[in-house]
């Protein structure tokens, strides 16, 4: 191998390694959306939004397809939070009917927010 081809091969290898590193770090450069539970999780700031997006179509307002459980009424929601059925329903642990009914499980992030809110006393905050 003469000096030029040695340099060319060397340069190619360097570029290959450099690009390899670049792609390896793509998940650091473009991280998946993080689950932000660093702030205080509240009913008004977090839980209501999740319920509204996933549950009120059956459990809110005038909906009558939620088994007669109006989760938009705080005392009803609080009762299901305190007796463990709400958490069982969204974690699909077998202790309750799986919710949301006939739909995919909530994201781990949403479930984590419910857990924090319930463990903090399921306050009307
Ligand atoms: C498509 C309608 C529908 C959606 C959406 C839905 N539910 Fe339900 N839910 C029901 C029905 C109907 C029942 C009554 C039990 C049954 O028939 O499965 C019920 C029951 C429940 C119960 C009582 C479970 C038990 O075993 O006693 C809880 C808690 C609950 N739902 C929470 C939720 C939450 C939280 C969401 C949103 C993440 C949700 N549901 C979304 C229809 C729904």
Comparing CA positions, the residue from 39, 53, 69 lying closest to residue 106 is 53
User: Which of 90, 93, 95 is CA-nearest to residue 118?
Assistant: 90
Per-residue pLDDT, 12: 46
Measured from the Cα of 50, ligand 1's closest atom is 38
Residues with CB under 6 A from ligand 1: 54-55, 57-59, 65-67, 69, 80, 85-86, 89-90, 96-97, 99-103, 106
Phi, psi of 119 (to 5 degrees): -65, -25
pLDDT along the chain (125 residues), means of 10: 59 52 60 83 98 98 97 98 98 98 98 98 98
Choose one of 55, 77, 84, 99 to mutate for the ligand 1 pocket test, by most ligand atoms within 8 angstroms of C-beta.
99
Atom of ligand 1 nearest to the CA of 95: 26
Give the C-alpha separation, 33 to 30, whole Å: 9
Residue 18 gets the label, from left (phi > 0), alpha (psi -120 to 50) or beta, of alpha
Q: What is the pLDDT of residue 34?
A: 83
**R_g of the chain, CA atoms, integer Å:** 25
Of 57, 78, 88, 89, the residue with max ligand 1 atoms within 8 A of its CB, to mutate for a pocket test, comes to 89
- Distance between CA atoms of residues 45 and 57, nearest Å: 19
């Amino acid at each position: 191998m003469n000096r030029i081809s040695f340099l060319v091969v060397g340069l190619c290898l360097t570029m290959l390694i450099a690009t390899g590193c670049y792609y390896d770090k793509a998940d650091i450069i473009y991280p998946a959306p993080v689950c932000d539970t660093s702030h205080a999780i509240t009913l008004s700031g977090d839980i209501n939004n999740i319920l509204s997006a996933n549950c009120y179509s059956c459990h809110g307002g005038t909906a009558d397809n939620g088994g007669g459980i109006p989760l938009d009424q705080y005392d009803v929601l609080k009762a299901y939070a305190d007796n463990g059925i709400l958490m069982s329903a969204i974690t699909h642990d077998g202790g309750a009917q799986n919710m949301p009914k006939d739909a995919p499980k909530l994201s781990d992030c949403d479930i984590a927010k419910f857990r924090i809110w319930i463990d903090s006393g399921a306050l009307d905050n």
